[in-house]
Every structure is written in C-alpha cells, then in structure tokens.
Chains A and B, each alone.
Chain A
C-alpha cells in the first residue's frame, strides 16, 4: 500500500474509534448530568456548612440547636413542620430561609423566648441590603439548613458526638478550654474580643480581665465575671440592655464555668 492509502486506512480506523467513544459518552450523558446535579447539591451543602460556622453559629448554636434568650433552633421538627404555617408563609422552606437570611428580622416573632440580638433582632445578610453575603452564598446556607430535615424529623440518627466541643477534654490548658467554650457556647455571637469574635450585642470583652475589677465595688474581677455569667441581670453595663440568657450557666458544668472565668480573666 502506498503511504496515502495507509494514512487513509488508519485515519478511518481512528475516526471510527473516536465516533465509538463519542457514542459511548452520549449514552452515559444523562447519567453523568444527573450525577453532576447531585454532586452540585452536595457541594452547596458543604459550602453552606462553612458559612454557617463563620456567620450563624454564634446566635443559632453550633449545630443549629438555637440559644435560648437569643435565637431560635433551626434543626428541630417545629422548624420543618410548623414554622411556615405559623408565620403564614406562602412559598416553600427554602424561600423562607433565603428571605429571612437576606433581609434579617427587624423584630423577633417570639420575643419572650428568642428576642434576638437587640434591634434589629437579626441583621440583614444579603449584600443587596448591606450585608456581607452574596446570593449564591445565601442559597448555600439554605441548602445546609434544609439538610437538617432528616435528623429533625427523626428519620436519621447521628452517631453520638464524643463531646459537645470536640477534643475539649484533651486540652490541658484551662485557657484553651475556656476559649473553646467561649466559641462553642454562643458567647462569641454577642460579645467581641479582638482577634477572637466580633459580636456587638453585649459589651466588648477584649480587656474584661482588667475592667471587671472596677465595675462593682467590693468585687474582685473574678467575682464580677463569675456573677455576670451566673446572674447576667445583676449588673448591666451602661449603654447595653439586659439581654443575656439567664439560664446560660445551666448549659455548662462547674469545671467548664471555672475554665470560662479563667479565660475571661486572662483578657487584659
């Protein structure tokens, strides 16, 4: 065979194989596209989880369990079964979450239990309304929150988490334990400590270790901090309202209280 004929021959073989690959791909396209959709939804939930950690857990709890006296739970059956009916929402839950997160809440709908973080009760989050999040980020957050449905309705049981704050018992240093508690128990949602949290509802705690001693006459700094956690209403710093959860101390153990106090004392 001449070179021309050889090249025509092998060229045709190659084109046939290429065509076969294309047909093979074509047969699998429907499935591939469906898989990509699933993959996409999963990624959205992961992104939402990260955003929740950064932005929401301070008020709504580490795992959406809510903080009494601050913000409602997002992972309970009521949220998925009764909430829309109660507020008379026309759309579906995703719409509701996106709308609420985007525009925030001027006043709480349940001021006795969950008064929120002052006025507004919940800030606006969408960059359309002066918040920090883009539309796609709020959609991801909604996808993450909706993913609590299975556990909220009891369809899925999660494995027992070894500790409320993973690895906390492994921390030797009381200050490190205190910091972990501060972040995990909702303190960070309302209070600010430079470099740790940015909450603006309660007083700034960046220098509480030194300022505490001067607040109430006759109290040492430690006594003042301890009392403020156990009975938040005992002393209200000027310019702030009596908003802190009265039962907070019941959510932590004696030892954890000590750690938290030690941590706050160290903020000088």
Chain B
C-alpha cells in the first residue's frame, strides 16, 4: 500500500503546481527566479525570464527592460523625474484620503479643514504631506526641465517628449494652484483672486474666461466648486494621461539619454562598452526605485512630523484684503512682471510667448550637439532665463516697489494681519500689561515686577524702537512718538496696541496709526 505512494513524485507534482500558480501571478517568474532576483544572482532560466515579463505583464510592459549604465549615473539625472512622479503618487494617495473629509463649499470648506486637524488621527500629517508633496512636485518638475535642457536631452527623437514635459509642467502648476484655494482661508482666497484676475486681462475673451473660471465676478461657492473639480478630476486625469505618454516614450522608445560625452567624444571602446552595459530593470532598477521611494517617504514624513506645518490662516473674508497679499511662490515671477507694465501685456501676452518658446525649444534649437561648450548660446540663454525668473520672483514680493507708509510697514511687520510675526511669538506670560514708550521706557527692564523679566518682549520692543528711530532719522516719521500698550482685556486675553504718532510733512498735521491685536493664552503659535 505504502509502496504504491511515490512521495518523490507527489512532492514534484506539488512543486510543479505551486510553480505554475506563482508563474501565473508573477507573469512567468518561478520561485527560484524570485530568490535569485533578490540575491543578485544571474537569471536561472533561458531565455531570460526577467525580460519575458516585460511582454507578458502590463505593469512591466510599461517599464523599461533596462537602461544603459551611463544613463543611470546619479549626477546625470539626479533622479529628478523619478521624484516628480513620486510626489505625484503621494499627492494622489493623500489627496484621495483628504477628499473623504473635505466639503467644497464656502460654508463648510474651512470648517472641514479644522475638523481634519482636530478630529482625524494623522489628519495634520496628511495635510502636511499633501502640501509638501505639492511644493516638491513643482520644484522637482522645474529642476527636471532645467536638467534636461542643460544636458541637451531634448533633441531629435526626444523633442516630443520635451513637449509633453512642458504640458506636464503646466498641469503641475495648475494642480498646485487649483489646490491652493481649497482650504478657503485668507491666504488661499486672495492668492487665487490675484491669480485669476490675470485671466481677466486677456484680450477679447478676458471677462468671459474669468467668469468661466470663477463662476461669478468674485470667487464664491461656484468658483470653489470649479477649482475643486479641476483639482480632483480634470487636471489629475490629464496629468496621468500626459505622464503615461511622457514616460512611455522614455521607457519604451528612446530611453534616458546618455551623458553627452559618450555620444560626442572620442572614447575608447572599453569605456563605451561599459557605458552602454545593460542595467536590467529586474532586479537593479526596481530595487533602486523601491529604495528611492523609501528614502523619499522617510524624508517627507520626517519633515512633516517635526519641521513643517501646512499654513492655515483665518477663514477667507472677501471684504478684507490682507496688506501683504501675494500669489503662491511659483507665480511670484508673474507678479514681478506685472509690476513692470500693462496687465494684458505682462500678465497674458508675455507669459503665453514664454511658454510658447518653451514648447518650441527642440524645434528652434537645430544645433545637433549636446555638450555644453558646443552649444554656448543655448546654455547661456537657459541660465539667463533662470536668473531672470529668480529676479522677477524677487520683484514679485510685496516688499519690492510697493510703497507702504512707514508706520503701517513697521506695525505690519511686527504683527502681520495673517501669519505669525514677532509679536505673536512672544510667550503669553511675558505680555505684561503696561504702556511702553519708545525712547522712554527702559528697553532692558520692561517688566521689573516679573522675577525673570520678559526677555522676548524686550527683544521685540527693542526692534520696534530701532525701526521707529531709523524711520525718524530717514525723515519718514518726523517728530515721532511711539507706544506699545499691553492691556489685560479678558481672562487669558490681552490686547496689544502698537501706536505711532507723527507729523505729516505735507500737511503738518499730527497723524496716528495703530493696530489692535488680541492674543489669547491658548493660542500657541508654535503649531
């Protein structure tokens, strides 16, 4: 009876059955092959099963079989494209979860963010990751473009890939900008108001385009819904589509470019052979990608956990424009341009030309060479454009070329309408009631009754005094008197009134500027 059972044969059949199942799931890789992959051993079968999966499996089909050794050199690509996609994935995942908690209406939007922060475990982390990922995606896509330009990797068969890349950059900016409005706070509301007001300046159909985007002359319920749908449906859909095209060309058609020297210098056959050696997707590229992903996740979660908080200001108030309103940082260059001239010319026509030129770079630049010294004009223009964008961005800051009256500026810097500012960073216990006068009160001993004094209040007060005196010397605040009054207003609530009185040089009248700032004990601003 026992003899009739052949265990070896049974075992073999079981192994075979398991092997068949595994191969179905892994699109052709056996268990032994999987082990060999992770151990860095050579392929176990012939023909190479690691290449076969690229035909049999969809997910592997859209990945490259291999890259050439030299094109994977870190300082050639800096992995910028990879991380752009990494951030996009982060955005999709965190975005899907955030959508559960968000309601796109002016009445509910801000409250739903507060609820996310105060009632959802990991809610703040999700929001921080989503925001940080958005910034990262903009930064990395721009850097990726710059790298591609400087290494001349947009030429010949790669020119269409470049073109899809520029579309992806626009989609990235659109995604980031449309998401900006969703928290419905002052920062969001006014930044987007500025941004969309640009559209209005478009010739012929400006008013209509603006109306289409905002849903009403001003951003309201309709505008919010439109931005929301742009943000979660249209732009992500276009993004995935364009990204697929962009990536498929890299993975399946022309691969990552080799560093130019391997194409254009006379190098020995040995060097060239090593440079063109295949680095297979399985296992080398995929482990590298998994490693980069874990590195990226670690860095993002580490930063969000300990250093970064996505900004959230007061709820949007269409009746009140904060003093230093500005666009998101990646549109500062546009704000800077607007200060230089006409809204239609600077806000619409020139940017359109700029993006048009970006699209056309591979078609304008017919120089076949890729090494930097063989294309000096292109490299110089690229660097010049980069510097111009940086300078324009600086000019876009509200501090540049916008005359704010001295007294307003000083008090605004001390305690901005939105955001933190030095005054709000003072610990509550140090806000001792009293009338503190610039150049009268002893700035080193403002709170003699307090055992440990109030060093942080003193620092802020000294700075305030300094700026007042500076402005007086420069003649911007003649005959100035300045105070800082701190009053206990309610239990756990103080009112701080910085007040500046000066003589207006033109009319000779005494003028007063003051702000009332209320600070509550529990409003811990370190969060």
Contact = CB atoms under 8 A, between A and B. Distances in A.
A233 to B, nearest CB: 34
For B122, B512, B523, the residue with the greatest tally of chain A CB atoms inside 10 Å of its CB is: B523
Contacts of B314: 43, 47
Contacts of A237: none
B523 A4 contact: no
Contact of B487 (A53, A136, A150, A166): A166
A170 B516 CA distance: 18
Given A18-B301, A36-B118, A162-B487, 14 more contacts: A2-B40, A14-B294, A21-B301, A21-B302, A25-B305, A26-B121, A35-B527, A42-B492, A45-B490, A45-B520, A50-B516, A161-B488, A166-B485, A167-B485
A167 B441 CA distance: 13
B507 to A, nearest CB: 13
B284 interface: yes
B173 to A, nearest CB: 29
A42 B284 contact: no
B122 A39 contact: no
B290 interface: yes
Contacts of A175: 510
B409 interface: no
12 contacts: A2-B40, A4-B287, A11-B294, A14-B291, A14-B297, A15-B298, A22-B301, A25-B125, A38-B522, A43-B314, A148-B491, A166-B487
A266 to B, nearest CB: 11
A31 B512 CA distance: 44
A43 to B, nearest CB: 6
Interface string A160-198: 011100110011010110000000000000000000000
A45 B283 CA distance: 59
A42 B481 CA distance: 32
Given A41-B522, A162-B435, A49 B495 contact: yes
Contacts of B119: 33
A59 B508 CA distance: 34
Interface stretch (A80-88, A151-159, A221-229, A243-251): A151-159
Given A4-B40, A36-B117, A43-B523, A171 B491 contact: no
Nearest to B510: A173
B510 A161 contact: no
Interface string B103-126: 000010011001001111111110
Nearest to A25: B305
B281 to A, nearest CB: 12
A7 B279 CA distance: 15
A14 B295 contact: yes
B260 interface: no
Interface centre among B114, B125, B295, B298 (most CB of A within 10 A): B298
A109 interface: no
A63 B315 CA distance: 25
A33 B117 CA distance: 7
Contacts of A35: 524, 527
Contacts of A135: 107
A63 to B, nearest CB: 7
Given A33-B118, A36-B117, A46 B519 contact: yes
Interface footprint category on B: 35 or more
A8 interface: yes
Contacts of B492: 42, 147, 150
Interface of B: 38-40, 107, 110-111, 114, 117-125, 283-284, 287-288, 290-291, 294-295, 297-298, 301-302, 305, 314-315, 319, 433-435, 437, 481, 483, 485, 487-493, 495, 497, 499, 501, 510, 512, 516, 518-524, 527
A38 B522 CA distance: 6
Contacts of B122: 22, 25-26, 29
B322 to A, nearest CB: 13
Contact of B488 (A5, A40, A158, A171): A158
A101 to B, nearest CB: 17
Contacts of B288: 3, 7
A17 interface: yes
Given A7-B287, A11-B290, A11-B291, A176 B490 contact: no
Nearest to B525: A39
B319 to A, nearest CB: 8
A37 interface: yes
A240 interface: no
Contact of B124 (A12, A32, A37, A63): A32
A259 to B, nearest CB: 14
Nearest to B290: A11
Interface in A96-118: none
Contact of A49 (B125, B483, B518): B518
B83 to A, nearest CB: 15
B523 A39 contact: yes
Contacts of B124: 32, 36
A148 B283 contact: no
Contacts of A41: 522
